[in-house]
Copies of this chain bind each other. A is one copy, B any other.
Amino acid sequence: MSAMDGFEKEGPVIGVFDSGFGGLTVLKALLKRLPGAQFSFLGDTARLPYGSKSRRTIARYAAESAQFLVKECGAEFLVIACNTASALALDAIQKAVSVPVLGVIEPGAAAAARASASKDVLVIATEATVASHAYAAACRARGLRAVEKACPLLVPLVEEGWVDHPVTAEVVRIYLRELLQEARRDGYFPDTLMLGCTHYPLIRGVLERVIAELASPLKVGVIDSAEAVAEEVAELVAPPAGTARSRPEIRCFATDSVEKFERLGSRFLGLPVGKVELVDLGG
């Protein structure tokens, strides 16, 4: 069976890559839209987090991971679920593999452009994503102005499981207050908050509550780049009518402890991740 046969019959094998478990929020959004597709998910858990590392290191790790999904899992379409890898390594990944590659930044910025009336957008993300200014550039290309803020404590808080916790609310309040102050000082009128990291959908409730409280009486809508990329992938790879399987096929791979992946991953995916296979990328 050639790759094209697979494409015609059941849609392509979709490879989803993240530095850790966070990208499972993107897989969750994909499953909602492509419930009969085949997915291979790789979490580079032995080398996470990417968000605090340099462009050179992130590009090397991400390119190796993408090659694994294409060569070993037969992925015919790659979704880079990791915001940091999308922001800093999309070029490196596209050079490393020959299949189509979609990151989360462009679909996220496109969704923000549709949602924002004031055309001023707030972006929260990891240190590396913010330092790359990838969201600001993608927003600018669509006539939006973006104010970005690194929120390095939010990923560890989510991983500690403090998703509905007073400390998380307080940390969110500190970060968002600083971000809003900076935006107002520079004459921006933001009406949209972009969640520029795959961990943040897990604390979406806290983020919505705090931004509403701080921005009041103005309204700020929340955009999740996981949702945005899933919508775009669904349009690009929708299987022909009547050909899709009724149940998805999901294979999960991790470069470190599969037990931890199985335990934490279910929290992100919203359903059991099943058996996770350990892979060695040599790093």
Contacts and interface: CB of A to CB of B under 8 A. Distances in A.
Interface residues of A, number: 25
A5 interface: no
A257 interface: yes
Interface string A233-254: 0000000000000000000000
B171 A167 contact: yes
Which of A46, A174, A255 has the largest count of B CB atoms less than 10 A from its CB? Answer: A46
Interface in A147-165: 152-153, 155-157, 159-160, 162
A57 interface: yes
A54 interface: yes
Contact of A282 (B53, B155, B282): B282
A283 B47 contact: yes
A57 B153 contact: no
A171 B159 CA distance: 15
Contacts of A54: 256-257, 260
B57 A257 contact: yes
Interface in A191-226: none
Contacts of A257: 53-54, 57
13 contacts: A46-B53, A46-B57, A52-B260, A53-B256, A54-B260, A57-B256, A57-B257, A152-B156, A153-B153, A153-B162, A167-B167, A167-B171, A283-B283
The 4 residue pairs across chains A and B that have the minimum distance between CB atoms: A54-B257, A283-B283, A156-B156, A46-B57
